Structure 1
């Protein structure tokens, strides 16, 4: 406990110190003889109790008291007015300005000890209350942090279960489609060979008919040939022969697209394996993600892909796919909300250098306000309406890229023009990421 005695009389200061010693009040004591010096000491040191003389030259004790109580920094200092005045008006004004107690001069031992001990006890209780409040605040912050982590874990568990269920459904659908697709593809290839043979023989039949028609004078045979030609005209055989190759090519393209969708579904079905790290190509992951969510963007957004020659990276495919999915869905939703009457644009670009791959997802949505930029990766922070967002998509994406893959997730934005998220991933093997998982 540190006590400051402020009195313009050195005799009074010595008397006060003597009273401390005689009554065995164990405190650190400091003294000064003016109000201005008292303010300097209080400003530079931690003072618990001030014994303040009311009447002093240049700056009175009441002025010092008023100055101290006007500053919230000093509101917890216990102030005891030290006075020989008998005018009660001074005491009334002292208490109005915020004094806690008073001691009369000359010092009377019993009164001095009683009032001072009461002030020390008050300060001790005050400090104990502060400590208790700090402990309560720390526990409250810890509880908030734990609650936040539990909510995040709960969300991640729910998402994991959802992804697992979706993965199982995707695997089942892919399997069911893949079987008929196999024989459709095989039959299409066989049908193509058959049609080629039929076209060849049909051309030869036509040549034969033409030769017979030129050399034969048999009226009945001529009538049969003319009937065949009429039927060819009615059945549009010439058009069929011209169009059949295009039909076969279109069918082949359709089969390839379905096959690609099935492959993407099968890959997506494996995205819930958190421990599976291997070498994957970011461009392939982007293509498969866009294919799975195509229905979200195909009617309202134009997506431009600018792919560099990116090497394979060592990563968890499902987690990286989840990040790209989150970022693209965020861009799609922002654009749909912002560009309601026109098509939006998203540009996905991949590049690399000697150490990292870079994937940027740029949209022409509304952008993000500067005062929100430092909050977007916080768990449960969202600018979406209630019920439309959990505020965990970017938080989880940041955790996946930064903590689990030792990369970086950066954002650049301009209000009214759009946002660019850039994923930076190392080309080297991430041993630490595996150990953490």
Structure 2
């Protein structure tokens, strides 16, 4: 199945080379490792490379992700770092599963075309991606896989003539190194050719003789209909490819566990289904490979009960070749939709909890993380309730400030009318003007009540909204209280972003940040709060709240978002405000809230204060 050849050119000598490879044969697949240790011309890099090869041999049965993570944690890598290409090449399936981190170059040359592999940025031993991605690729006969380390500088247009003229792959790696290897670095090129790929060993191709049409008088009724969930109408199949079943029963909506499968949740979904069903390895690979391709063309839904898995593809038109190539049991319908069915022994119904599984898949959480999420969700509800009560107290104080001036104006107007009436100097024009002035103040009072009512109502609906508009409405709620505290509010919020949000939640978050600044300015001579917005790109915006309150002590600045942490007296502060703001922004909006102390000049004077910055994204 494999023809492999490798050429390694050390910068100095072989026992000082940090470029290396390993090819291990396991029961079901080959494990391929290509690595590049940082540095060259040193016995240390060669020693590290040797240690990595031994480590991989010892843990060769681990998953690709686990192997990468294990290598990353080795202390001897910290001073050098490493880039890696790691792959599993399956024996019975023409499939390759791989992950690559760093600047290794890898591609397949197929029918005069280059298929470049995806590599994530990072360096093992220093910093690797939080999520290590594995990719699947279907192999064809005579595919040529070429992997090179950073010491080889190659481009498609330059290497293609070399591939065409070098028919013997045993000579190709040496020629690539000779033509494209760097003189000031170690270089490695590995060439692997796939031959004798066994397609029929795991697939039954579409058989025209097995076609059945629903127009035949003696055709059996093979589907029990149900009320469709989707707009596509499911009718009887016009073609089948099955060995043992001659009937299909569509699972009803009670068993719909994934509707409109998303790419980012594909790997997790397969792993979660595997934990319940316990797929055979080749079935797992086939399903994952097919779904990777199918998601490019169609919506996909997944149904599961205690005896069957049904994968519903809304449009199979562009996928028939892959479908026939990989599966035995499938059903194609008149409207070009399709069901792939996998049957198994009865599942443990205690283990299979459909509602929880649906939610876990929707959230993309593992079982332990899901339990923590549910606990945090309950805690968040409690914190939200407590914080809401605290915010209502703040809002009542704001209303008292906002009402004081208009009530004083109304009182003054009423007193003036009474005095002029006593001196008989009140005419109809005066009455109309004064009544209009009173109504203006009454409308203002009414609006403050409406604002307060909107603020406290428990509405969690997300709608498209302008961040600038939310800030302006928040300022309207807080302005009177800031004025009474002799705080000057300065805004520069011309740059805006539309996001899906709950207006009340964001107002509550902004008011909590403003109140934090207001408390910090209580005993200060110069009292300023700045609110500024700045576009990061078309989909992101930075919103900052800066005050002149002297900043936060460095020994506690990392604790300000901890629940119940407060620097206020126990009778004043609950410590819920900033904790709730951070939780709401992080968990509900996937936004980031940061705080840092900042020194700045304003009106010829140097100030220091706390700057809270929120990064919003669409």
TM class by smaller structure: 0.3 to 0.5
After TM superposition, the score normalised by the length of structure 2 is: 0.30
Which is greater in Rg? 1
Structure with larger RCO (C-alpha < 8 A, sep 6+): 1
Structure in which a larger fraction of residues adopt helix: 1
